Amino acid sequence: MFDEYKDSVIEGCRRIVAENLVKGTWGNVSISDGERIFITPSNFPYEKLTRKDISVTDMKGQIMLSEHKPSSELKMHIALYNARKDIKAVIHTHPVFSSAVSLVCEKIPSLIEDSVMICGEEILVAQFASAGSEELAYNVVEAMGKNNAAIMKNHGLVTIGDSINEAITASLVCEKTAQIYIVALSCGNVSIISPEQAAQLREKYLKHYKQ
């Protein structure tokens, strides 16, 4: 049952490895149908994942079907689905440049059009808390706000979307923007899109481009 959801999670895992957003089995991927969460198992090789390995829980994290322990970041996925009823997918990864930004900045400002449109006007860095904790879940929801990306201090990146594809696109765009920011910071003063123009870009994307 629910094969297409499980297949989406497996495909998402393969893509985050192929796109170099994670190393090994780090990171986690989930999709939700509004009543259930389909999520990667904890510490399981992505290349060996099959449908039966995907954990299924309800929206409170109660296990409905699982051969393995669900991802250790299940609480963060649940908190995001409960805070953002508009989303269907959550992707957590450990990419290099977003992680580097988390060490030196509180946010990525409105730098580049695609990032402002796809990720949000400013991408905020969530306060540090232990991996897998309720506190980390709370911090990430707070930093995410109405955006599609939040960077996790001294940890990595989480992105959301109405599909796995949309969440992966947000991860790739955020990571590219983090790389641009680090290069630009090392060169001199960084030029920023005005808050008014950034708000217009994001609104235009959400209203006209996203569909």
Site string for Zn ion, 132-161 (x = CB under 5 A): ------------------------x-----
Residue 2 CB, shortest distance to Zn ion, in Å, is 25
| Closest to Zn ion by CB, 93 or 147 | 93
Residue 39 CB, shortest distance to Zn ion, in Å, is 14
Contacts of 38 (CB under 8 A, 6+ apart): 2, 5, 6, 8, 9, 30, 31, 32, 54, 55, 56
| Closest to Zn ion by CB, 71 or 115 | 71
| Closest to Zn ion by CB, 120 or 156 | 156
Residue 1 CB, shortest distance to Zn ion, in Å, is 29
Enumerate residues 83-102 that contact Zn ion by CB under 5 A: none
Of all residues in this chain, which one has the CB nearest to Zn ion in the complex?
156
47 is a catalytic site residue: no
Cβ distance 102 to 153 under 8 Å?
A: yes
Binding footprint of Zn ion, residue count (CB under 5 A): 1
Residue 199 CB, shortest distance to Zn ion, in Å, is 31
Catalytic residue among 4, 11, 19, 73: 73
Active site residues: 73
Which residues of this protein are in contact with Zn ion, per CB under 5 A?
156
